[in-house]
Amino acid sequence: MSANLRVGFIGAGKMASALAQGFIKGQAVKCASHVSASCPIADKHLLEHMKQMGCQTFHCNKELMDCSDVVILAVKPQIMPLVLPDIKSLVASKLMVSIAAGVQLARLQADLNPDSKIVRLMPNTPCIVREGVSVFCSGPQVTPQDNATVKQLFGTVGQIDEVKESMIDAVTGVSGSGPAYMYLIIEAMADGGVKQGLPRDLAYKLAAQTMVGAGRMVLKTHTHPAVLKDEVCSPGGTTITALDMLEKSGLRTSIMQAVEAATKRCTQI
């Protein structure tokens, strides 16, 4: 990956902002001015955070294309048909990365041109604190060097893996949408702590760090989550009593159904 790599975002929503901040903090780019973003004038408020970070901002996608080596398509899926014709003639030498849920490579390739170098990638918002997880698949024109650029770029903001495109929708259901599930669990755990008399700030801290620690235990020990769970459960103890309640409440099934619902939604876009 070039030390002078310039990254442009077409679209300046929360995911674009999170990635931009992560790239700057992770030194994936030489300086903040090597990151740029564009959006319509009607949405100019979305560019304020980009400006505050020191990024370049535009209201013209063609201007952004001119100063970018890697262009990240960060617009909503329903906006993509409006954006692609506008940049179709400019993509030949660019590495295009789409983070739009449910938009397949074949559709992107057809709306741009057969020679376009297109990567479909699904990140998540913890990229902002460089604890994200991203997966990607590449179109036929993408070179090994392009793949290396994607891995190095998104590797600065968390973990990244290459997968078959058939897996991307399920990935969206697990890790793309997953942070929201985790926030809901953290909030519920903290509410439970407050109900039992803990100060709100302490309850949030305990719940959030417990989730961080549990996740790292799985990743670092390579131990099955069920084994780690069993190690916390003493016979007749507090943890097994709590797990019994969670199982009766259908937590496991609810989360599996949430992942399924998010995955199916990708196919409807």
CATH of the domain at 175: 1.10.3730.10
Ligand-binding annotation for 13, yes or no, is yes
Co-location of 147 and 232 in the same domain: no
- From 119, 141, 163, give the residue that closes a domain: 163
* 101: pLDDT strictly greater than 90: yes
Ligand-binding annotation for 75, yes or no, is yes
pLDDT band for 179, please (50, 70, 90 cuts). very high
Q: What is the CA radius of gyration of the chain?
A: 21
* 3: pLDDT strictly greater than 90: no
- From 128, 146, 163, give the residue that closes a domain: 163
* 1: pLDDT strictly greater than 80: no
Co-location of 72 and 184 in the same domain: no
- From 163, 180, 208, give the residue that closes a domain: 163
Ligand-binding annotation for 37, yes or no, is no
Count the domains in the chain: 2
Question: What is the pTM assigned to this prediction?
Answer: 0.90
- Give me the domain span that covers residue 35: 7-163
* pLDDT reported for residue 91: 86
- 229 located within any domain: yes
Ligand-binding annotation for 10, yes or no, is yes
Nearest to 16 by CA among 75, 79, 95: 75
Phi-psi region of 140 (alpha: psi -120 to 50; beta: other; left: phi over 0): alpha
Co-location of 134 and 258 in the same domain: no
Do residues 138 and 146 touch, judged by C-beta distance below 8 A?
yes
Task: Determine phi and psi for 222, rounding to 5 degrees.
Answer: 55, 30
* 90: pLDDT strictly greater than 90: no
* 108: pLDDT strictly greater than 90: yes
Ligand-binding annotation for 15, yes or no, is yes
- 212 located within any domain: yes
- 2 located within any domain: no
Average pLDDT over residues 164-177: 96
* 93: pLDDT strictly greater than 90: no
Ligand-binding annotation for 14, yes or no, is yes
Co-location of 127 and 149 in the same domain: yes
Co-location of 86 and 211 in the same domain: no
Co-location of 239 and 119 in the same domain: no
3-state helix, strand, coil in the chain (%, to 5): 60, 15, 25
- 1 located within any domain: no
* pLDDT reported for residue 267: 87
Ligand-binding annotation for 144, yes or no, is no
- 67 located within any domain: yes
Co-location of 230 and 102 in the same domain: no
Tell me what the pLDDT averaged over the chain comes to.
Answer: 94
Ligand-binding annotation for 248, yes or no, is no
pLDDT band for 227, please (50, 70, 90 cuts). very high
Average pLDDT over residues 33-46: 94
* 2: pLDDT strictly greater than 80: no
Ligand-binding annotation for 92, yes or no, is no
% of the chain exceeding 90 in pLDDT = 88
Task: Determine phi and psi for 178, rounding to 5 degrees.
Answer: -55, -40
